[in-house]
Amino acid sequence: MGNFKDVRIVDNFYQTSSFFPMPTTLVSTLSEEGKTNLGAYSLCFPYYIAGKDYYAMILECRNSSNTAQNLLRDKKCALNFIPDKKKYFKEAVRLGFPGETTEEKMKNCIFTLEESAVSADRPKIVGESFQVFECSWDDTLENAYLDKAGCLEGYEPPYRNFNGITSKFGAHFILKIDKILMKERHYDGIVNGIKASSFPAVPVDYGYRDSTNFWCSSFKKPYAEKIQAKEGDVSTVIYAAKRIDPEVTFTDEACARLTKIPRIFLKAALTQMVKIAKEEGIGKIDEAALDLINDKRREEKKKK
């Protein structure tokens, strides 16, 4: 193995047997009394990213935690991504300590709670966040709706494979993204053109922890590395364009401007262009029409 050593794989391997960069999030849920509870989590990642009728995250947690019990009962949450400030990470560590009731942990919480952008009966969101995902648990997957709140000493089998109660002490939640909220400066970067200054100060939970400390890596200004685009042959674009829709054609000049689109994304891009062309009453996509269509695509992106 050269210079590598074989590390023993144990429970919580991402913390105890490795260094694994993760996000720092506060998950807000509603307690049984209807109060917003904040729990600190890093095992929260994109799950459904394309090709489904909705987009989703996956959250992994102890099934006895306030967050898990609230999700089993209420099915709503918000994923609050907090910026890189030492006082915020210190508070996140405090909020992640198990065993406290919602009233106890939220009594002196330093974060500002704001109303949900979806509805007033949902968990509040953290005002200091640079972005928030408001989500709903999809309990239809694996019949996870059969799993109920109330077991704080561990659940007995049978267990789900990926959604609901997955082990005696564990749970996975597939969270449908209902709304993404973002602070204006970062929103402008995504919609109008990204720059280094557009990126939020994102802390990275370093993964490793011991019996004494959690570790966090401070944010550094990102740098850009140019994508080494491999231009396709214009004949490939022409071939694909002719097979999208017989009612809309592309000129060779327009196709020549589309050679930088990776082949794997070419059909989807051309299909979207044809759809917009039909909406605009365009039967032939030349360079002028292509400019108009690209403007429309950018407008649609802003709306999303």
Length of the chain: 304
Strands 125-126, 56-62: pairing kind: unpaired
Residue 210: is its pLDDT beyond 80? no
pLDDT value of residue 191: 84
List pLDDT tens digits, range 169-185. Answer: 999 999 999 999 999 99
Q: How confident is the model at residue 228 (pLDDT cuts 50, 70, 90)?
A: low
- DSSP-H helix ranges across the chain: 13-16, 66-74, 86-95, 102-106, 184-192, 234-241, 252-256, 263-279, 287-303
List pLDDT tens digits, range 89-128. Answer: 999 999 988 889 999 999 999 999 999 999 999 999 999 9
**Which of helix, strand or coil describes residue 103?**
helix
Sequence-distant (6+) residues with CB within 8 A of 234 are 252, 255, 256, 259
Residue 56: is its pLDDT beyond 90? yes
List pLDDT tens digits, range 274-287. Answer: 999 999 999 999 99
Cβ(105)–Cβ(28) below 8 Å? no
Q: What percent of the chain has pLDDT over 70?
A: 95
List pLDDT tens digits, range 127-169. Answer: 999 999 999 999 999 999 999 999 999 999 999 999 999 999 9
Distances in Å between the Cα of 276 and the Cα atoms of 258, 262, 280, 282, 291 are 16, 20, 6, 8, 12
Q: How confident is the model at residue 263 (pLDDT cuts 50, 70, 90)?
A: confident
Residue 117 host element (H or E): none
Q: In one letter, which amino acid is 258?
A: L
